[in-house]
């Protein structure tokens, strides 16, 4: 098992290297650091010395890949590629363009993100699976077809509508919770209730329909017919057999997003003023802080790859047919 996990993680290294090459090309080759400096300092009236100063403060004045001015290994380490890209592998995110420590910021801001995404994820999953099982119980009836119609309608509504509508109705008209903001400790609950509720509702349509398809696929299998033939009640068939076997396709979609929950949701955090990683990214985009966006891209792909590895491991736990090779 451990050997398998190590091998699986080793596969991830070339992929992460590829991600880094992509961000490097995107941020330093497509546009030179000079362009970035000019954009930051205001486009028209910028002197060459101001650009040089901006670049040297952030370490962008080094050569891209190969530094001829240095000796031996320094020739490769004293470059933009090494300092800004390779170091990400050690989770050394360096400083943002405005001079803050990115690693510290991320460690501080991932908790508010998690405080929203985790409840949304858990509640949403429980609710959608419950509803989908109920729909599968009534399959082929009017309840089933109306449920599908409602799901498609809910899927067709923009996520922004749920957020704006929810803020307007619950925050402004009914005044049940504050419209936006954040607090530490237990007093955060009144700020978190609305975004969590909206997150769950927003994902309901798509999730329910997806799990309904999975359950219906399982219901048509032979083992279900056998279970019915030996006289089990429909409830026993659904909970004891269909749900357990449907866990395998459900796991594929669920486990892979688990690590990415740390990243938070860009839109939700921006609307509700939650100081998480999502709003961190948006602030970086709006203030054109390239170092933070670079770090988030790397972090995002690391978390995704961890999710893939976790998915494989969870398969071996729930499905004895899967072998580790």
- Beta carbons of 240 and 232 less than 8 angstroms apart: yes
Of 204-243, binders to another protein (CB under 8 A) are 213, 216-217, 220
Q: Least distance to another protein from the beta carbon of 98, Å? A: 15
202 Cβ contact list (under 8 Å, min separation 6): 159, 162, 163
* Residue pair 51/34 in contact by the 8 Å Cβ criterion: yes
Binding range to another protein, per CB under 8 A, among 25-33, 58-66, 223-231, 313-321: 25-33
* Nearest distance from C-beta of residue 22 to another protein, angstroms: 7
Locate the DSSP E strands across 111-186.
Answer: none
Query: Given the rule CB under 8 A, which of 92-100, 194-202, 231-239, 261-269 is the region that contacts another protein?
Result: 261-269
Site string for another protein, 144-183 (x = CB under 8 A): --------xx-xxxxxxx--x--xx---x-----------
- Phi/psi of residue 101, nearest 5 degrees: -80, 115
Binding another protein (rule: CB under 8 A), the pick from 282, 310, 313, 316 is 282
Return the number of the residue (134 or 285) whose C-beta is nearest another protein.
285
Q: Which is nearer to another protein, 66 or 138 (CB)?
A: 138
Closest CA to 277 of 264, 290, 286: 264
Bridge partners of 101, per DSSP, are: 95
Cβ proximity to another protein: between 30 and 317 the closer is 30
Does position 305 interact with another protein (CB under 8 A)? The reply is yes
Q: Which stretch binds another protein (CB under 8 A): 32-40, 74-82, 242-250, 312-320?
A: 32-40
Of 303, 301, 302, 324, the closest CA to residue 313 belongs to: 324
Q: How far apart are CA 18 and CA 13, in angstroms?
A: 9
Distance CA 11, CA 16 (A): 9
Stretch that binds another protein, among 63-71, 75-83, 240-248, 277-285 (CB under 8 A): 277-285
As a whole number of angstroms, the distance between CA 314 and CA 87 comes to: 31
C-alpha to C-alpha distance for 271 and 231, rounded to whole angstroms? 53
Nearer to another protein, 28 or 182 (CB): 28
Q: CA-to-CA distance for 167 and 182, rounded, in angstroms?
A: 15
Report how far residue 18's alpha carbon sits from residue 21's, in angstroms, rounded to the nearest whole number.
5
**Does residue 118 bind another protein (CB under 8 A)?**
no
Of the candidates 98, 108, 252, 288, which one interacts with another protein according to CB under 8 A?
Answer: 288
CB of 271 to another protein, least distance (A): 9
Q: Please tell me the count of residues contacting another protein according to CB under 8 A.
A: 53
Give the single-character DSSP code of 95: B
CA 269 to chain centre: 13
> Which positions touch another protein (CB under 8 A)?
14-16, 18-19, 22-23, 26-27, 30-31, 35-36, 38-39, 43, 152-153, 155-161, 164, 167-168, 172, 213, 216-217, 220, 260, 263, 266-267, 270, 281-282, 285-286, 288, 290, 293-294, 296-297, 300-301, 304-305, 308
């Amino acid at each position: 098992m451990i050997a398998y996990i190590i091998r699986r993680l080793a596969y991830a290294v070339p992929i992460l290297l590829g991600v880094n090459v992509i961000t490097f090309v995107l941020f330093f080759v497509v546009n030179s650091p000079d362009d970035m400096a000019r954009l930051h300092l205001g486009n028209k009236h910028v002197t060459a010395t101001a650009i040089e100063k901006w670049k040297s403060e952030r370490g962008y004045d080094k050569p891209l890949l190969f530094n001829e001015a240095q000796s031996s290994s320094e020739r490769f380490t004293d470059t933009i590629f090494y300092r800004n890209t390779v170091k990400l592998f050690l989770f050394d995110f360096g400083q943002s363009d405005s001079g803050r420590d990115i690693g510290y910021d991320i460690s501080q801001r991932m908790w508010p993100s998690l405080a929203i995404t985790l409840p949304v994820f858990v509640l949403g999953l429980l609710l959608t699976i419950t509803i989908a099982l109920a729909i599968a119980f009534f399959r082929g009836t009017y309840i089933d077809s109306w449920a599908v119609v409602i799901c498609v309608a809910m899927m067709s509504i923009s996520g922004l509508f749920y957020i704006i509508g929810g803020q307007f109705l619950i925050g402004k008209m009914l005044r049940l919770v504050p419209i936006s903001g954040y607090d530490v400790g237990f007093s955060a609950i009144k700020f978190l209730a609305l975004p969590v509720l909206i997150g769950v509702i927003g994902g309901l349509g798509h999730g329910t329909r997806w799990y309904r398809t999975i359950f219906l696929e399982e219901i048509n299998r032979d083992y279900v017919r056998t279970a019915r033939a030996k006289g089990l009640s429909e409830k026993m068939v659904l909970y004891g057999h269909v749900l357990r076997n449907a866990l395998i396709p459900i796991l594929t979609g669920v486990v892979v997003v688990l690590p990415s929950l740390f990243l938070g949701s860009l839109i939700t955090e921006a609307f509700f003023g939650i100081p998480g990683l999502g709003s961190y990214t948006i602030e970086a985009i709006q203030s054109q802080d390239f170092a933070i966006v670079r770090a988030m891209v790397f972090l995002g792909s690391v978390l995704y790859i961890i999710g893939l590895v976790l998915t494989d491991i969870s398969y071996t736990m729930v499905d004895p047919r899967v072998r580790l090779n």
